[in-house]
Structure 1
Amino acid sequence: MTTTPQEVWQLLGELVQSQKETDRKFQETDRKFQETDRILNQSKQDTDRQIKELGKQIGGLGKKFGSFTEGLALPSMETILRDRFGMEIISPSVRASKQGQHLEIDVLAYANGDINTAYIVEVKSHARDEAIEQLKNLLERFPVFFPEHQHKKLYGILAAVDLSSTMKERTLKEGIYVASIHDEVFELDTPLDFRPKNWQV
């Protein structure tokens, strides 16, 4: 069967039209992909922003809870430090800076004269392994930041709302006093034969 020139032109026209339609569909698909990609990117940015904001809020709650615990501990720790150890000066939230280094102490207490002793209290809502290392680090660095107290005896107290028996034993072995909460009041929780470590010998 012979194809006439008119039929050839007609076929070519249909092919060109079909190609145009295919190109249009490709462009439409590409546009949809780009739109989807834009929406996904926007959604990711929104999610990242929300996660960041949530992180800030959680961090803020943590700080507030920490401050609440320290506030809860302070009155009873003041009583212990004054009545049991004879401390004259008791200062909460002590911050010191020296040569670009920083030190933060939850409670610092000291007495001059015959007693000539200082105590560093670290307050935790939940005491974990790092709490002991953190307090030891404070005790070891204390003389550098407070040279005026370098001739005093220096002791540490870990005060915690939640303290496991294992953590208590580890803390006492390091020569650090333990204070735990009973009926919303912190009390020393150390055996009679406990010998505290003087960190400034």
Structure 2
Amino acid sequence: MLTMDNIVREGHPALREVAKPLTFPLSEEERTLAHEMMAFLENSQDPDISEEYGLRAGVGLAAPQLAIPKRMIAVLIPGEYEDDPPELKAVMVNPKIVSHSVENICLKDGEGCLSVDRDVPGFVVRHTRITVTYQDINGKTFKKRFKEYPAIVLQHEIDHLNGIMFYDHINKENPLNLDDDVKILG
């Protein structure tokens, strides 16, 4: 079982590496990694398990956050209500943003990251809508559109595959400055 001890923190060189694409069929080790990453997200969102193991709640996890330089992410975005099915639950192999909107969006309270143990004030401006291509763990290819919160989460995780941290997007001079046309979510 993955815990917070398995997640590397800012300053670790793995977080600044560009991850390598995976080839199919995935190895048994890579398939296990996919399952463990999703299990971590599920456990982190379960109040009892997260408290017992000291897990911070997460909606996304990228392999580089485990010091594994491979292009794999897991996302688990809860539905609006507790009994809803997940809005998005997927392990994505070799995800790539192939198009995006001109409109931009950001979270009202900024972004957080399992690899960052501090609050980083500032708006992280992202594309409101994105189209992503990826494979599942069996090699089946998908092309899907995402908007608003799921799009923000995916951009955050795909950035990890490219050695980019969320705070790299924050305006260094004025972290709380936003263009008038940026939608604020939350």
TM-score tier, shorter chain, comes to: under 0.3
Q: Which has the higher Rg, Structure 1 or Structure 2? A: 1
Pick the structure with more helix per residue.
Answer: 1
Scaled by the length of structure 1, the TM-score of the pair is 0.22
Scaled by the length of structure 2, the TM-score of the pair is 0.24
Q: Specify which structure has the bigger relative contact order, considering alpha-carbon pairs within 8 angstroms and separated by 6 or more residues.
A: 2
